[in-house]
Each structure stands twice: as structure tokens, then as C-alpha cells.
Amino acid sequence: MFNWYKLTFLLGFLLILFVLLVYDRPKIINDGKIELRLLANPPPGYEKKFEELLALFEKTHSNIRVKHNKAPGNYYTKVQTMMVGKTCADVVHFSGKQVNSFKIKDTLLNLMPMIKRDNYDLDDYFEVGLEDAQSTDQEVHYLPLEGSGTVLFYNKDLFDQANLNYPDESWIWEDFQNAAIKLTKDIDGDGRIDQAGCVVGYWWAEAISWIWSNGGNMVNKQHTKCLLNQPEAIEALNFILDLERKHHATAKSLGGTESAGVAENFSSGRIGMIVTLAYALPTIMDAGKNSNIRWGIAMPPKGKHGRPIRYTSSGWVVWSGTKHPDEAWELVKFLNSDKVMKEYCFDNYYIPARKSIGLSPEFRNRPDTSFDENILIQSLLASRPLDNIYALRSIASDFGIALDKARLGMSDIQTEMDKVVEKADAALNEHSSKNIATEGIDHD
């Protein structure tokens, strides 16, 4: 008797086998080319141009094919997972601050041997970009594509209406505070603030730069003691907190969170000043496309020991597990070539990482922008990277909780920073006792 059950089972098995072995098999291209994998999330609206640039690389490097993938979401967690699983891309887009946390795990390739072999010009890079990733004479694990310092965005129309002079080189903290107070208004008389004077940002990395400006630091030079409860730090934190608590001059007065809709509120004339990284330029310009406001940028106000300017950047690394290090290096050089760096930075309003481009008249005198690019360069040259301290990788959450309690009147900032320092010192001591090298902490 014919067994239809066995026949059905056999046919089903053969179908599954066909799918696994034939239908679902990755397409193999036997053209003799080396396939390089690139992981990068291009800026919104730049995807097509980025793919065109990669096509140009393939045209000039006929032995290489580039497979570009994106990783939306928790980017660095995904990168780490792929590296652990030995499935990472050969070349990866990175922030400078993240480099050290990966470098210490030997997941990033040291590019210095190839840099020396090819006489690649590192002197053309702004020094702060290489310092951000703790590059040395012997180790370079990262090449920045662009970088950014902190600037002051201001609404010229609101300054004119308040009969205030625009921010300039002479501005100190007191000038900023006075302007923020005068720019804060209840326009319709309903008892609610309709126009806020400023946004300074309470995120720890933004607040730290105000501490620098006042002569303070996050840690001592030996990285053995946290300094966030010292007088210089407490004075700086009280200054930015009082803009909200005492003067009600921040965007928090508009309702919602400090950071909610900042670009939109600035472009619609509801915020007078924003102190933040120049990375905000494309967002503010995009939000202001349908707005007629006049605005400019200036250097942040001076404190007792300089200006509140921090640096951050993004660029390229090569995974240490790559099977094609020389080809990956060729791709990195192309991605930081004159053509690519110019197009990438000019199109997205970023500051080029190389001096020959960033200091060129072509960049500093752009006819298509209303702001002064020289301010961007001035800020970059005055900026400094955040400390790279692995032991304090929890500082972001601890710092945020402390500021929130002080902002809400639940405690004072000195008491809360004493708690932060106690925990930080314990971590630093434990870290030192284990003789573990320092590495980066999350900041982007």
C-alpha cells in the first residue's frame, strides 16, 4: 500500500533542504574582489551622497567591493556584540570618546604602522581630534572626520527687541546671566513664560565644561581623586542651576523638559540663547527653514579660567579582527580624503578634522551660510576633550541624579556632589589598585 504520509514527509524535507541549501544561501560573487564591510549611519538626507562616494572608491580601487550596513538604535552595544561574535565590519564609524573603551579590549587595529609606512600626514589634523582618542607616537586607533566645540547661538531679533548688544569676546558669565534674564518674558501677560532667555544643558558633559571655565575639573591629574565637590565646581553648578531655580530664565520655563524642542523653539523665537556644541547647526538650520528669524553664533561667555568649551568628534576605526587590514586602511584614507571630508562636512555643516580644509578660505568664508565659520574654528581651537576614565563610567547617571535633586529643591548641590565624589573616589581607588589602564566613558 502506498504510504502518502511518508511521501509527504519526504517532499517536505526536500523542500526545507532546498530552501536552506539553495534559496536562502547568501549570494556569492566570484569576481575576485575583496569585500570590505563598512558600518556607518550617514546623517539624515546624506545617504544617497554617501553611497555615491563609496561607489567612487570602488571605481578607483577595482579590487575592492564595499558592503555598507547601518546599525540604528543602541549603536555601540551592537558594535561590541558584533566584535565579540567575530562578525563586525572591517571599518566602523566611531566617536573619538568611544575609542578608548574598545581599544583596551584589543578590538581596534593600531593604524600607526600603516601611517608610518605611507607617510600619512597626521600633522594636518587638529591636535584636539587626536587627543580625544588618546593617540600617541606609537598608537593611533582612530582618525577623526569632523569635530566640534561649544558655541553660543543667539537670536538677533530678540536681542534687538530687548536693546541688548550681541554677544562678543568681552562677554563673561555675568553678561550671559543678565541677558538671559532680560530675554525672558511673559509676552501675553497670562503669568506664564512665553520667551525663555537661554538653554545651557544639565547633562553632565555640558555641565563639566562650565566647571572647567571656573577653574575646576572632574578629576585630578593622577586620576585618583574626583573634584566635583570642590568650590570651583560647586560655584559653576550653582551658576547654571540658578538660571532656572532663581531667575526662571531657561527653556524649562516653557514647559516640558529642558531639551524638548529646543531647535524648534529657538527657530520660532521662543528662546534667546543656546550654549551647546556646534553639532546643533544642522538641526537649527533645518528647524528654521520656514522661519524668518535672524540669528548668529558667538563664543561662550568667559569664566574665571576660560570658556565652557568641550570637544567631541566622529571618525573611523578598523576592527582588529579584519582579514583585510591594508584594504580597510585604504578605505579609511579615502573616507578622510579632501573630496570626502569637504563634501561630508560642508553638506552637513560640520567642522573638518583636518587643518588644510578647516582653515581654508573655502570653509571659513562660505557664501551659503549666515553664521561666521571663524567662530567655529575659534571654538574648536579653544576646546578640550572630556576625561577618559573607565572607573567613572557611571558618572553620567550619578551626576544627573545629583543635579535633578538640586534643581527640584530636594537637596543642595554640595550635599549631592559629596555623594557623587564618595562613590567616584571608591571607584578610582579600586581601579588604581587593580592597575587597569584608563579607557573612555559614554558621552554621545
Reported as a single tens digit per residue, the pLDDT across 394-423 is 888 999 999 999 999 999 999 999 999 999
Question: 41: which residues sit within 8 A by CB, 6+ positions away?
Answer: 70, 71, 72, 75, 93
Q: Which of 385, 401, 422 is the last residue of a domain?
A: 385
pLDDT value, residue 434: 59
Give the predicted TM-score (pTM) of the model: 0.86
- Residues 440, 141: Cα–Cα separation, whole Å: 13
- Residue 279, sorted as left (phi over 0), alpha (psi -120 to 50) or beta, turns out to be alpha
Question: 27: which residues sit within 8 A by CB, 6+ positions away?
Answer: none
Q: Which of 385, 402, 420 is the last residue of a domain?
A: 385
The reply to whether 375 falls in a domain is: yes
Same domain, 203 and 265: yes
H or E segment and range at residue 35: strand 34-39
Q: What's the whole-number mean pLDDT along residues 127-148? A: 94
pLDDT band at 94 (very low <50, low <70, confident <90, very high): very high
Output the domain CATH number for residue 244: 3.40.190.10
pLDDT value, residue 393: 76
Same domain, 161 and 278: yes
Kindly provide the residue ranges of all beta strands, DSSP E only, lying in 96-254, ordered along the sequence.
143-148, 150-155, 196-199
Same domain, 428 and 302: yes
Question: 29: which residues sit within 8 A by CB, 6+ positions away?
Answer: 65
Please give the residue that has the higher pLDDT: either 197 or 252.
Answer: 197
Q: Are 142 and 133 in contact (CB under 8 A)?
A: yes
Could you give the C-alpha distances from 176 to 54, 153, 208, 395, in angstroms and in order? 45, 12, 18, 28
pLDDT band at 309 (very low <50, low <70, confident <90, very high): very high
Q: What's the whole-number mean pLDDT along residues 411-437? A: 83
Domain boundaries, position 60: 34-148+312-385
pLDDT value, residue 28: 41
Q: Which of 385, 400, 421 is the last residue of a domain?
A: 385
pLDDT band at 427 (very low <50, low <70, confident <90, very high): confident
Please give the residue that has the higher pLDDT: either 50 or 20.
Answer: 50
pLDDT higher than threshold 70 for residue 339: yes
- Residues 42, 70: Cα–Cα separation, whole Å: 8
Q: Specify the number of domains making up the chain.
A: 2
pLDDT value, residue 31: 67
Please give the residue that has the higher pLDDT: either 98 or 436.
Answer: 98
pLDDT value, residue 260: 59
| pLDDT tens digits, one per residue of 62-92 | 999 999 999 988 999 999 999 999 999 999 9
pLDDT higher than threshold 60 for residue 40: yes
Same domain, 359 and 332: yes
| pLDDT tens digits, one per residue of 210-266 | 999 999 999 998 889 999 999 999 999 999 999 999 999 998 888 655 555 888 899
Same domain, 223 and 264: yes
pLDDT value, residue 433: 61
According to the per-residue pLDDT averaged within each range, which of 28-32, 169-173, 292-296, 423-427 is highest?
169-173
